[in-house]
Amino acid sequence: MQIQDMIHYTVWDWLLFFYIYSFIGWIWESGYASVGQHRFVNRGFLHGPIIPIYGFGALGVLMCTMGVRDSIPLVFIFGMMGATALEYATGWTMEKIFHVKYWDYSNFKYNLNGYICLPASIAWGFFSVLLVEVINVPIQDLILQMRSLFTELAVLILTAATAVDVHASVGEALDLKEMLERLSESKEYIRRLQKRMEVVSAVKLEDYRTRREKQAELLLSGKERFEKNLHMLRELRTRQLNELLEKVETLKQAAPQRAEEFKQITDGIYKQFTDMAGRRDKDYRRIAKHLRRNPSAASKEFAEAMESIKRLTE
């Protein structure tokens, strides 16, 4: 394919390239996961059968290599640089918005903030050569032959459907962010209450904590047991709060002079009950589906809360 071919690409052509490569990326990710788990697995940020990072990556490679198509080494270098820059920008932006890393190269050598790493960049280089020299040739020919009013209409329909999907998926990601924040605040608040109770009562709660942690380990595995796992977690949290309330009532009788302090603790515990009731089952289900499509998602800021939600989806 020569450089002049690229000049004749229309907006509709570029959009078709995007959807085709996003779909190919989805086939690769979902197919690989499905084979490994021996069942169909829908991967990706969106609900539909596309993974936009592959589409944007392919477009970025095609654009970055427009002037060097006759040199495979330059296609490798320019494609690698363009795809790596896109991967870093996408990963950084998504974590800043959602407080979640949807991929993490921290365990690889020569990584930069976990968003990119040398092995992945080299892989992008080889992919660029494969894309430009092999894969894109028949796809380009197909797109150029398909040019018609019908094609433009199909692209418009795909764009509208993708926009709806993006809106729903971003909503799920924002729900996940909010849930992580609320769970983290709740757990931290209960920890502070426990420490405060220790100071007031001079009673250690280590046995209580150990017992609660052992109970948490009893969570069942399997997607079909999600509802039961969620019910068990809520029972554990309710029991934890009720035990704190009982301790407060006992200490109020032993130290009536600290009644105001005990009232603040009691109000805080009841607030936790209210917050827990506000986290609806359907909210957890939406978030669980989002995490099943993105199993590598992680949150450094809300690591403990993320782990507790992921355990529901195991």
Instruction: Kindly report the three-state secondary structure assignment for every residue of 74-100.
Output: HHHHHHHHHHHHHHHHHHHHHHHHHCC
Mean pLDDT across 266-275:
76
Look at residue 279 and give its three-state secondary structure: coil
Q: Given pLDDT bands bounded at 50, 70 and 90, which one contains residue 112? A: very high
The model's pTM: 0.70
C-alpha to C-alpha distance for 85 and 61, rounded to whole angstroms = 11
Q: Which residues contact 32 (CB under 8 A, 6 or more apart)?
A: none
Q: Is 80 exceeded by the pLDDT of residue 284?
A: no
C-alpha to C-alpha distance for 32 and 41, rounded to whole angstroms = 9
C-alpha to C-alpha distance for 207 and 141, rounded to whole angstroms = 70
C-alpha to C-alpha distance for 208 and 193, rounded to whole angstroms = 14
The residue assigned the tokens 């669980």 is: 288
What is the Cα 85 distance to its own chain's centre?
Answer: 20
Q: Given pLDDT bands bounded at 50, 70 and 90, which one contains residue 185? A: confident
